[in-house]
Amino acid sequence: MHQETINNPKKSSEPIGLRLKVNGQWYSPRSAPTTRLLDFLRRELGLTGTKEGCGEGECGACLVLLNGEIVNSCLVLLGQCAGQEVTTIEGLDAQVIQQAFVDVGAIQCGFCTPGLIIATYALLQRNPRPNREEIQQALAGNLCRCTGYQKVIKAVQVAADQHGRG
């Protein structure tokens, strides 16, 4: 028995690898479980729509959905995502929201935009008709250096109207 284990280590001792789903597809990462989810997405999968701003959970540029809930991917380790489902801006069905941001001019440099769209998507999923205060609360974790937020709030209102009509 002992001899068989030594000769065929895969049979008895191969660890069950970390797997996670990203944008509907299962992956077995090469990255270590201690890798930040942000780095795995950008460096290993090439999903560069998820941005790194502060790296400290303060700016929202790195937002993704983890099992449908928004998380700062700079604060989540790959090992925490075992068996979980991650959705990035590339995998989000958010054309209505994106178009609203374009139409009202809520995108300037665009660095914050993926995170804002993820936050807006999550808001409209749980509250399709948010008022201004609810929008401000939902986007409180997203920093934008360019727009002054007024057009961003307008874009969310337009997206909610379109959402309601759809």
Using the minimum distance from each CB to ligand FES, give the nearer residue, 52 or 85: 52
- Token pair belonging to 128: 């399709």
Cβ-based neighbours of 66, under 8 Å, separated by 6 or more? 37, 76, 81, 84, 85, 86
Using the minimum distance from each CB to ligand FES, give the nearer residue, 17 or 46: 46
**Rg of the chain's alpha carbons, rounded to an integer?**
19
The residues binding ligand FES (CB under 6 A) are: 52-55, 57-62, 72, 74, 107-112, 144-147
Closest distance to ligand FES from the beta carbon of 126 (Å): 21
Using the minimum distance from each CB to ligand FES, give the nearer residue, 55 or 79: 55
Closest distance to ligand FES from the beta carbon of 116 (Å): 7
Residue with tokens 């959905």: 65
Closest distance to ligand FES from the beta carbon of 30 (Å): 23
Nearest to 155 by CA among 89, 95, 105, 82: 105
Closest distance to ligand FES from the beta carbon of 147 (Å): 5
Cβ-based neighbours of 7, under 8 Å, separated by 6 or more? none
Using the minimum distance from each CB to ligand FES, give the nearer residue, 107 or 135: 107
